[in-house]
Structure 1
Amino acid sequence: MTTPTGPTCPPPRPGPRRRSSSRREPGAARSTPTSSHRRARSSWPEHWSSSGFANTDLDLLLSQHRISRIVLIGMRANTCIDTTARFGQELGYHVTFVRDTIAAFSPEEMQATFELNAPTYAHAILTTDEFVKALPPNAS
C-alpha cells in the first residue's frame, strides 16, 4: 500500500507522536490548546497527516477536559482543516469553522471546502465577528 506524499502531505510517521513546542520541527503543524489548558499540560500532540485527530491523543485530551465543541481555524482549508473537522464530527464533536481565519492556496480550494464539503458535516460556518458575538458573556 502506498501513502501519498507531496507538498500537502508530509511523509508518514509511525505511531502517535507528542513533542513539546520547544522541540517542534520546522514546518510541523500542531494542535494548540486554549490558554487555560496550557497550564494543565506542557506537551500537546502534533499531527503528522491531514487530521489533527489521527495518530494523536487529541480526542482523549478533549474528552478529559469535557470539551465537546471544536472551533477550527488555520491553514489549509481543503486538507488539514477539512479532514480534522470531518474526523471530529465523526467522533461526535460539534464542529465550527471560522471562515475568515482559514486559508488555502487557491480560491478553488476555499470554494470546495466552504461551498461543497463543510455544509455536509459542519454545525456552523461563521465569520470572526459572528463567532465572537455568539460567545457567552463570561468567555472572555
Structure 2
Amino acid sequence: MTEAYTVDLGKTALLFVDPYNDFLAKEGKLWPMVSKVATEVGLIDNLKKVTAKARASGLKIVIVPHHRWKPNELDGWEHPNPYMLGGYKKQIFADGSWGGEWYPDFAPQPGDLVCTEHWGSSGFANTNLDTILKQKGVTRVILVGLIANTCIESTGKYAVELGYHVTLVRDATAAASQEAMRCAHDINGPTYAHAVITTAELVAAL
C-alpha cells in the first residue's frame, strides 16, 4: 500500500465468509487442509482483531455462509462441480452437525446480518447478499474468512461485477498452501480488488 487505507463506515460492510467449526476448529473436517497456512498467518487471532475492531467502530458485519449439506440433495443434478461434490461427499458443514455450526468466537452477534447460503463459491450467486447490502446503502465490501482462492476470490470478483469496491485482507484468510495464497493475493487479487491489505492496516483504518 502506497497510501493509507481508509474506511467509509457508512458505506462499507465486512463480509465474513464461512465461519464454521469445520473450517476453524481443530476438530473440523477442513482444518487439517488449511491449518498450516492459517497458523503461519495468524488467522484466528487476526479474525478476532478484525471482528472486534469492526464492532467497536460500528462497521456492518455480514456473515456469508456456505450451504449446509443434506444427504441425497445433489442426486439428479446435471452439473455439480468438483468443489461442490467434494464438500457434499464428505458432508462438510453438514446440516444439523457440529461442523455446520458457527465457530463460537465468530458466531453472529446482535446487529450482524446473515445472508442466505451459497451453494458454490460466490457468496452473491443465488443468495440475497446483494439485496441486503444495497438496502443498507453499502457500496464497499471487505472480505475475510475462507478460503482465499475459492469462496473469497469468487465472492470478491462477483462483487466487482456488481459495482462494489472490494478489499481483500491477506492475513485474515487461509488456503491449502502458500502457493494458493500467493495466487489469490499477488496474482489474481490485483486484477479485480481495489485494495489488498493486512489486518494491521485494516485495524488502523478502523
Higher helix fraction (1 or 2): 2
Percent identical residues: 43
Q: Which residue of 1 aligns with 2:181?
A: 110
- Select the residue among 79, 93, 97 that pairs with 1:2: 79
Q: Which residue of 2 aligns with 1:44?
A: 115
- The higher-RCO structure (CA 8 Å, 6+ apart) is 2
One-letter amino acid of the counterpart of residue 127, structure 2: T
Change (3 A) 1:29 1:82: farther
The 5 A counterparts of 1:1-140 are: 2-6=79-83, 10-11=87-88, 27=99, 35=109, 37-38=111-112, 44-135=115-206
Runs of 4+ in 1 over 2 A off after TM superposition: 5-11, 23-30, 32-38
- For residues 75-131 of structure 1, the C-alpha deviation after alignment (integer angstroms, 9 at most, x for no partner) is 111110000000001101110111111100111110111111010110111111101
Aligned length: 120
TM-score of the superposed pair, with normalisation by structure 1? 0.72
SS of alignment partner, residue 45 of structure 1: coil
TM-score of the superposed pair, with normalisation by structure 2? 0.51
Task: Give, in whole Å, the separation in 1 of the partners of 2:86 and 2:158.
Answer: 17
Change (3 A) 1:81 1:124: same
Q: Which runs of 5+ in 1 are unaligned?
A: 12-22, 136-140
One-letter amino acid of the counterpart of residue 104, structure 1: A
Shift of residue 10 of structure 1?
4.0
The 8 Å contact of residues 86 and 121 in structure 1, kept in 2 or not, is answered as yes
Shift of residue 62 of structure 1?
0.2
